Amino acid sequence: MKFGVVVFPGSNCDRDMQEALQNDLGQEVIMLWHKDKDLSMFSTEDCIILPGGFSYGDYLRCGAVARFSPMMQSVIEFANRGGKVLGVCNGFQILCEAHLLPGVLLRNANQQFICKNVYLKGIGSDKALKIPIAHGEGRYFADEATLDQLEANGQVIYRYCDENGNITAAANPNGASRNIAGIRNAAGNVFGMMPHPERACTSELGNIDGRIILEALLGMGITA
């Protein structure tokens, strides 16, 4: 599998993602500039990643301007052909703005930027995974009908939990609907999450739980 990491003006986790994939997981990575359009070097077995940051300064809404960049038009076409796409933090916001994923990301319930380790429960492991978050607008929201559909289709991939894996209101850092930290589309090839697995891939940092998330993507594609 080959990875493309899109770089927008204001991306600040693009090199973190490159480092994690290339050096920690030994994968081929191609950096993609937002003004370019060419994805011909990627097959639908490969994966395009939208990294975290503040694309276009978040001056309108997080991800709202990036959604219209030339590269994103190609990413949307790539996803519609069945290609794998992963959005992390700001990348998740962009995927929702592009309508590749349902719902929206709203201001955190406490109206403050949050940067800390949290715990997630979902695919790839039965244990609670410790993964960093860093966002001011990370509160996933959708109407009840959409949430029910996500649940029924197995599209909720990660939920915030405590260190013992209990999904509780106290473990929800931003007020996200139903503790949702990550979702996928109905087809299972587009995935978005607010926490940053690329920041938990190096043993020197004392945490490699992020590898479990990225290796699940490497080994099986995006599946429930």
Domain ranges for the chain, please list them: 2-220
Give CA–CA dist 192/115, Å, rounded.
18
- Residues serving a catalytic function are 89, 196, 198
In the chain, which residue ranges form alpha helices assigned H by DSSP?
A: 14-19, 70-80, 90-97, 144-152, 209-220
3.30.70.100, 3.40.50.300, 3.40.50.620, 3.40.50.880: which CATH number matches 2-220?
Answer: 3.40.50.880
The amino acid at 24 = D
Number of neighbouring beta carbons within 10 Å of residue 187: 11
The amino acid at 9 = P
Q: Which residues of the chain have pLDDT under 50?
A: 220-224
Give CA–CA dist 42/137, Å, rounded.
31
Q: Strand pairing partners for 4?
A: 30, 48
Q: Quote the distance between the C-alpha of residue 220 and its chain's center.
A: 16
According to DSSP, residue 136 is labeled S
**Tens-digit pLDDT profile for residues 100-146:** 999 999 999 999 999 999 999 996 667 899 999 999 999 999 999 99
Rg from Cα positions in the chain: 16
Contact between 13 and 52 (Cβ < 8 Å): yes
pLDDT at 124: 60
pLDDT at 16: 97
Give CA–CA dist 190/162, Å, rounded.
26
Helix, strand, coil shares, percent, the chain, to 5: 30, 30, 40
pLDDT at 61: 85
Contact between 43 and 81 (Cβ < 8 Å): no
pTM to 2 decimals?
Answer: 0.94
User: Collapsing DSSP states into helix, strand and coil, what is residue 20?
Assistant: helix
pLDDT at 223: 42
pLDDT at 224: 37
From the list 190, 194, 121, 125, the residue with the least C-alpha distance to 159 is 121
